[in-house]
Structure 1
Amino acid sequence: MSFLQVTWTDPATGARGYLVIDRLVRGVSSGGLRMRTGCTLDEVRGLAEGMTAKEALNYDPGARYVPLGGAKGGIDFDPRDPRAEDVLTAYLFAMSPYVERFWTMGEDLGLRQSTIDRAIAKIGLRSSIQAVYPLLDDEDEARRRLSDAFGVVVDGVGLDELVGGYGVAQAALAGIERLGLTSPTAVVQGFGSMGGATARYLARAGVAVVGLADVHGAIANPDGLDVETLLLSRDPHGGVDRTKIRRTDLLLDRDEWLDIEADVLVPAATSYAIDVGNAHRVRARLVVEAANMPITVEAEELIDALVIPDVVANSATNSWWWWTLFGDIEPTAEAAFAKIGTTMRRLVAKIIGEPSPRAAAARIAAEAVREIEQRFQPAALTGDRPTGCRS
């Protein structure tokens, strides 16, 4: 049962928005805000539960960062609509009491952090993560660290856009090694922050990225795509500039991404991209969930592949923010990639040999949640409860 669920309607457009806080730890929760047509309360609730697990999986009793509770926000609206930023601003104004004290949030599907930051400034809040500030030893120094980290650019792309996909790539490489795949190939569905960085670091590790899908369609080349050129040609919604593709690249319809033959499949776009209707088209031996909930429960039962679940594979973005803010790592690319690589390999090693990696991840997360709540029981049980909440 969720700690808090809020449903909102935009008076100007009729767009619906949702906030679900699954759990508070030390009075605070963590989880991004997404915007997509068709977003539902059930979807946001599932994502909030996943965030609780994602936070807990990175628990280190010796670290400054103590995992927070899980939360998620969602807006049922097209992020490419010219009114999208106004809808976002109205939503955040309505949710501002929660952002101020209980919910730390950042970009997710359909939204960029820069867009969220503009809306946050418009409504007079200090930051999208200000609820965590009271937990910091030195707020000014912590904010400087995070600001410095967001200023780092690695080969033309901001570090904040790379950390999540770097973690997914590390998870994929661990799976490739486990399966003993030689000369592996990969398809990445979604070419935003998560998918783009995943493709970059798979390609740099020697994995041929033979297909990718963006908002406009799919691009394939059995000999491997020029990932770096395509990555640097993206628009703000992850769309590739078609003038940058090579003559040997094939342009396909967007729904043909599952037909591109590859050893590794990385769904990095929307939730429920693989369902019972298309699960039979999955031929990869390894599936790495870069997106949140990209495979339905029923579909996963039909897939004959090793599946590395989202709560593990895509957890690096969230953890990197907190490792940097709380001072567990320096605000550099070297420190970020080293910490992410070590952590991801450790997590994948724990679950990859189990009959169900997803069940193993859930068990490890539940054990960590219990330990965290025992250690911080007074705050977890007596922290201020938002007014007007309902289960």
Structure 2
Amino acid sequence: MPATLLTDASRRLEKAAQYAPISDDATERLKFPKASLKVAIPVRMDDGSLRVFEGYRVRYDDTRGPTKGGIRFHPNVSLDEVQSLAFWMTFKCAAVNLPFGGAKGGITLNPKDLSKLELERLSRGYIDAIAPFIGPDLDIPAPDMYTNSMVMGWMMDQYSIIKGVRSHAVITGKPVSMGGSLGRDTATGIGAFFVINSMMEKLGKRPETLTVAIQGFGNAGSVVAQHLFEAGYKVIAVSDSKGGIYNKNGLSIPDVRQFKQTYQKMKDVYCKDTVCNVTNHNTITNEEILSLDVDILIPAALENQITVANAHNVRANYIFEVANGPVTADADKILEAQGVALFPDILVNAGGVMVSHFEWVQNRSGLYWKLDKVNKKLQSRIIEEATTIWQVARRKDVSFRTAAYIHALSRIGEALNDRGTRDYYTY
């Protein structure tokens, strides 16, 4: 993968810095990750052979607290991608006022090629390699693409073995039985729903009048789809990596979720057994779903899905980024010129890291919360930050993305400035 993702991500920082009252020292510091680690992970495979996998962990900035960010297993994982995601996490945590900096990690592989035993050995081997680089007060990993609570449980257990003490707070997104928080597995999707619904209310839009298309029907995409459906929005198209389905009259999202879980392919949802009789549908590709004539488009898959090559084809009025970095900086300009209102990832998908913070707090205190309390705290905090970003956008007449970065950068810049800048030392 070309080393351009971090450069592209940094362009958002430069634009926001024109509006945020921070020093040149702070802006310069945020152009570079604090620490990057690349490791080799030898794994004994089930057939007795040895494979070595490449892994990464990046701590981008810890000005506001220990770094926080997920671990992904994916064939496209690279140092550039992980640095970019760590950059976004830095601003995401600041945008929603969490006492964390940003980090990210990953291993380059297709996890579907490994058995469960091989995945466990890989997960534990990764922690063996990065254990000095992480910790409850240093860097706290979490699940990301193709990792889950079981993987996080293995990793927390391995770290605890290495340190010789039980350390629940080193990893979030764990199984509830191993110190995980209720609501963590659905937090990204639910948080995104809270943001979408609150922004539509501010715009005077009623759910029953709005159509939605969602690219990416994994954990986050399927959860936000379910909540939008229950709230009265008309979800007319969803897709996953193997294709999608479309019905202009709306899809039955509970049925889609059920059959997706059963058959693992979106294209099978309405062509297996009795569900074929639920509704008519058309198949659709991941590329086609981005150009549907809908009110709300939700990219919830991978980064760089909307670029200069296809941004002109977008016909949605509103985009809510549930994936990390699905729209490039150059595409932002095109969409803005077309009048598309884009709500950025560092706000929209921040529900996951918010509830990860709740989990970390519960681990540190030993007091665990009921699901209703978790969701109420998530709703209150993410809507509060969304409202503030809305106000910044209106007051400074900038896009919602720029407003989110201004909001985050102001918080990070204040913390950096309080450590001393050139103005302090030359006074």
User: Residues 205 and 372 (structure 1 numbering): CA distance in 2 closer, same or farther, change over 3 Å?
Assistant: farther
- What runs of 5+ residues in structure 1 fail to find an aligned partner? 60-65, 133-142, 151-158, 379-391
Deviates more, 1:258-267 or 1:26-35: 26-35
Identify which of 285, 293, 314 aligns with 1:253: 285
Quick one: distance in 2 between partners of 1:105 and 1:238? 28
Quick one: distance in 1 between partners of 2:384 and 2:83? 28
User: Residues 146 and 367 (structure 1 numbering): CA distance in 2 closer, same or farther, change over 3 Å?
Assistant: farther
Q: C-alpha displacement at 1:236, in angstroms?
A: 10
Quick one: distance in 2 between partners of 1:167 and 1:114? 22
- What runs of 5+ residues in structure 2 fail to find an aligned partner? 1-31, 43-49, 421-427
Quick one: distance in 2 between partners of 1:177 and 1:144? 34
Q: Secondary structure at the match of 1:359?
A: helix
For residues 239-278 of structure 1, what are the structure 2 equivalents within 5 Å? 239-240=265-266, 242=269, 243=272, 244=275, 246-278=278-310
1:309 aligns with 2:335: no
Q: Percent of aligned pairs with the same residue?
A: 25
**Counterpart amino acid of 2:320?**
V
Which residue is 2:92 aligned to?
A: 54
**Counterpart amino acid of 2:58?**
V
Quick one: distance in 1 between partners of 2:156 and 2:214? 32
More helix by share: 2
User: Could you give the per-residue CA deviations for residues 256-281 of structure 1, whole angstroms, max 9, x where no partner exists?
Assistant: 32243311011111111211222122
TM-score normalized by structure 1?
Answer: 0.80
Q: Secondary structure at the match of 1:187?
A: strand
TM-score normalized by structure 2?
Answer: 0.74
1:160 aligns with 2:184: yes
Identify which of 147, 151, 154 aligns with 1:111: 147
Asked which structure has the greater CA Rg, the reply is: 2
For residues 74-153 of structure 1, what are the structure 2 equivalents within 5 Å? 74-82=106-114, 85=119, 86-100=121-135, 102-122=138-158, 124=161, 126=166, 129-130=169-170, 147=179, 149-150=181-182
Count of aligned residue pairs for this structure pair: 353
Quick one: distance in 1 between partners of 2:263 and 2:333? 32
Quick one: distance in 1 between partners of 2:264 and 2:131? 29
Q: Secondary structure at the match of 1:75?
A: strand
Quick one: distance in 2 between partners of 1:127 and 1:258? 43
Which residue is 1:297 aligned to?
A: 329
User: Residues 57 and 253 (structure 1 numbering): CA distance in 2 closer, same or farther, change over 3 Å?
Assistant: closer
Which residue is 2:214 aligned to?
A: 188
Q: C-alpha displacement at 1:97, in angstroms?
A: 1.7
Quick one: distance in 1 between partners of 2:105 and 2:245? 31
Quick one: distance in 2 between partners of 1:178 and 1:26? 31
User: Residues 371 and 259 (structure 1 numbering): CA distance in 2 closer, same or farther, change over 3 Å?
Assistant: closer
Aligned-pair RMSD on alpha carbons?
3.1
Q: C-alpha displacement at 1:343, in angstroms?
A: 2.2
Quick one: distance in 1 between partners of 2:357 and 2:263? 25
Quick one: distance in 2 between partners of 1:356 and 1:331? 36
Quick one: distance in 2 between partners of 1:112 and 1:366? 31
Q: Secondary structure at the match of 2:283?
A: strand
**Counterpart amino acid of 1:367?**
S
User: Residues 167 and 144 (structure 1 numbering): CA distance in 2 closer, same or farther, change over 3 Å?
Assistant: closer
Quick one: distance in 2 between partners of 1:238 and 1:349? 37
User: Could you give the per-residue CA deviations for residues 309-336 of structure 1, whole angstroms, max 9, x where no partner exists?
Assistant: 0011111111112235425996223222
User: Residues 264 and 76 (structure 1 numbering): CA distance in 2 closer, same or farther, change over 3 Å?
Assistant: same
**Counterpart amino acid of 2:233?**
V
Q: C-alpha displacement at 1:249, in angstroms?
A: 2.4
**Counterpart amino acid of 1:174?**
S
Quick one: distance in 1 between partners of 2:314 and 2:114? 36
Quick one: distance in 1 between partners of 2:33 and 2:281? 47
| 8 Å Cα contact 1:99/1:129 also seen in 2 | no
